[in-house]
Amino acid sequence: MNYASTIVGWGKALPSKSRTNADLSKLVDTDDEWIVSRTGIRERRIASDNETTFTLACDAANRALDQASLSAKDVDLVIVATLTPEYGFPSTASLVQDAIGATTAGAFDLNAACAGFAYGLAVARGFIESEMYRTIVLIGSDTMSRVVDWTDRSTCVLFGDGAGAVVLQRTDTPGGIGSTCLRSDGSGGPLLIQRAGGSRHPTSAQTLRDGSHYLRMNGREVYRFAVTATTEAAIAVMVDAGWTSNEVDLFIPHQANVRIIESAARSIGIPMDNVFVNADRYGNTSAGSIPIALCEALDHQRIQVGSKIITVGFGAGLAWAAHAITWTAPTASS
Ligand SMILES: CC(C)(COP(=O)(O)OP(=O)(O)OC[C@H]1O[C@@H](n2cnc3c(N)ncnc32)[C@H](O)[C@@H]1OP(=O)(O)O)[C@@H](O)C(=O)NCCC(=O)NCCS
C-alpha cells in the first residue's frame, strides 16, 4: 500500500501588538511610502516580553490539534522549524512536546531559516510515507524581532513575529503532498547571516559591541536570489506533479516581500488572483510565514478539497524548498 501524507489540522498564533510603518518611522529614518513601494509591507506583529518562539509555537500547535480533533497523545513527532529558538539548547521542539502533552512523541528543531517550514514538510512527508510515523505536528515559529537590529532601517522594516502549525497524517486517500523540491546554495551564506552566538563567534563583549549578534543582509542580492529560486522551485514541483500554471488553484509563497511574490508569480505564469498574500499585514515571519498564510487561505475559503496548491519557502542558507499539494482535508467551504 502506498500511503500519502496529508494535512489534517492547521492553526496559527500571532502576537496582538502591531507595529505600523508610521511607528517605525519614529525609530529609524524611513517612511510608509518607501516601505510600501519597496516591500508591500504595511504593518507587522511584534512579540511582547512574555511571547516567545515557544509560546507562539504551543498556541499554534494546540489550535492545529483541535482543528484536527486529535489529542496530543496521538502525536508521534513534533518538529519546530525556527531560526530564533527559545534557547541555544534544549530544542524548542522538546519544550513544545512537553507543554502540549505529546508524551509519546519524539521532538527536534529544524533550521533552514525562512525555508524551515517548507523543509519540514519534506521531512514529515518522508517519515509518514516510510510508515515510520502516523501523526506529526510541524510548526514554523519565529520571533525575528529578537534578532533584528532596530537601528538598521534596511532590515528592521521587513520582519515580524508569528507561528503556524499543521498536523500531518498518513492516509490512503490519493493527494496530499505530491511533489517536493529541496535546494541549497551555501556559497550565498554571507548574504543573510547572524554571525555571532555560534561556535565561530561565541557571544562576547566584542560581539555585542559590534552588533554581530544581529541579522545582517545584502538586500539586493537576496532579492535577486528570491525571485529566481521561487520561480525555479515552483516550476520544478509543478512539472513533477504534471500540472500547468493554469491548473494551480493557489500559490502560497514565502511572504518576504510583495514585489518578490509578484515578480515570481509573473515568471511562473500564475495570475495574482491565485496567489495568497498577507505580507502587507505581517511582514516576513520567517518559518511562520507559509503556515500562517495557509491558515488564512483556509479561513478565507481560498482552498477546497481537490485544490491544487504550490508552496515555496526561501531564506538564509541560502536554502529554498517547494511542494505541490492536492488538498484532501474537509474545509469550511467544502
Ligand atoms: C531590502 C529591500 C526592500 C531594499 O530595496 P531596494 O530597492 O533593493 O533598495 P536598496 O537596497 O537599493 O536601497 C536603496 C536606498 O534606500 C535606502 N533604504 C534602505 N532601507 C530603507 C528604509 N527602510 N527606508 C528608507 N530608505 C531605505 C538605502 O539606504 C539606499 O539608500 P542609498 O541609495 O542612499 O544608499 C530589497 O532589496 C529586498 O526586499 N530584498 C530582499 C529582502 C528579503 O526578502 N530578505 C529576507 C529573505 S528570507
Identify whether residues 22 and 154 lie together within a single domain: yes
Identify whether residues 192 and 251 lie together within a single domain: yes
Indicate whether 332 belongs to any domain. Answer: no
How far is CA 142 from each of CA 12, 223, 265, 292, 308, rounded to the nearest angstrom?
12, 21, 25, 12, 27
Indicate whether 296 belongs to any domain. Answer: yes
Indicate whether 333 belongs to any domain. Answer: no
pLDDT of residue 180: 97
Domain extent at residue 48: 4-174
Answer whether 140 contacts ligand 1 (Cβ < 6 A).
Answer: no
Q: Whose CA is nearest to atom 30 of ligand 1?
A: 154
Mutation probe of ligand 1 site: the residue of 223, 262, 285 with most atoms within 8 A of C-beta: 223
Q: How far is the CA of 126 from the centre of ligand 1 (A)?
A: 38
Q: Whose CA is nearest to atom 4 of ligand 1?
A: 219
End of a domain among 157, 174, 191? 174
Q: Is-contact 139 60, C-beta < 8 A?
A: yes
Identify whether residues 139 and 186 lie together within a single domain: no
Residue type, 58: C
What is the CB neighbour count within 10 angstroms for residue 110?
23
Identify whether residues 76 and 55 lie together within a single domain: yes
Answer whether 223 contacts ligand 1 (Cβ < 6 A).
Answer: yes
Considering its fold, how many domains does the chain have in total? 2
Identify whether residues 106 and 187 lie together within a single domain: no
What is the CB neighbour count within 10 angstroms for residue 303?
26
Catalytic residues: 114, 254, 284
pLDDT of residue 334: 52
End of a domain among 174, 191, 226? 174
Indicate whether 334 belongs to any domain. Answer: no
Q: How far is the CA of 52 from the centre of ligand 1 (A)?
A: 28
DSSP string, 57-95: HHHHHHHHHHHTT--GGG-SEEEEE-SS-SSSSS-HHHH
82 grid coordinates: 525556527
Q: Whose CA is nearest to atom 28 of ligand 1?
A: 154
Indicate whether 89 belongs to any domain. Answer: yes
Answer whether 106 contacts ligand 1 (Cβ < 6 A).
Answer: no
Measured CA to CA, the distance from residue 314 to residue 114 in angstroms comes to: 6
Burial 76-106 (b: 16+ CB within 10 A, else e): bbbbbbbbbbbeeeebbbbbbbeebebeebb
Indicate whether 128 belongs to any domain. Answer: yes
Answer whether 38 contacts ligand 1 (Cβ < 6 A).
Answer: yes
| Nearby residues of 266 by Cβ (< 8 Å), 6 or more positions away | none
Per-residue pLDDT of the chain (334 residues; tens, 9 = 90+): 577 899 999 999 999 999 999 999 999 999 999 999 999 999 999 999 999 999 999 999 999 999 999 999 999 999 999 999 999 999 999 999 999 999 999 999 999 999 999 999 999 999 999 999 999 999 999 999 999 999 999 999 999 999 999 999 998 888 899 999 999 999 999 999 999 999 999 999 999 999 999 999 999 999 999 999 999 999 999 999 999 999 999 999 999 999 999 999 999 999 999 999 999 999 999 999 999 999 999 999 999 999 999 999 999 999 999 999 999 988 865 5
CATH number, domain containing residue 201: 3.40.47.10
| pTM across the whole model | 0.97
Indicate whether 199 belongs to any domain. Answer: yes
Closest CA to 142 of 180, 115, 107, 102: 115
Identify whether residues 88 and 185 lie together within a single domain: no
Closest CA to 329 of 3, 8, 1: 8
Identify whether residues 201 and 304 lie together within a single domain: yes
Identify whether residues 73 and 209 lie together within a single domain: no
Identify whether residues 250 and 158 lie together within a single domain: no
Mutation probe of ligand 1 site: the residue of 42, 153, 154, 217 with most atoms within 8 A of C-beta: 154
Identify whether residues 161 and 255 lie together within a single domain: no
Ligand 1: nearest atom to the Cα of 222? 41
Identify whether residues 54 and 90 lie together within a single domain: yes
pLDDT of residue 250: 98
Indicate whether 331 belongs to any domain. Answer: no
Strand partners, 13: 163
pLDDT of residue 333: 56
Q: How far is the CA of 79 from the centre of ligand 1 (A)?
A: 33
pLDDT of residue 1: 58
Alpha-carbon Rg for the chain, nearest whole angstrom, is 19
| Nearby residues of 145 by Cβ (< 8 Å), 6 or more positions away | 46, 47, 159, 160, 161
Identify whether residues 207 and 145 lie together within a single domain: no
Ordered alpha helix ranges (H), the chain: 21-24, 32-39, 53-67, 92-100, 116-129, 153-156, 205-210, 219-241, 258-268, 279-282, 289-299
Answer whether 115 contacts ligand 1 (Cβ < 6 A).
Answer: no
End of a domain among 159, 174, 189? 174
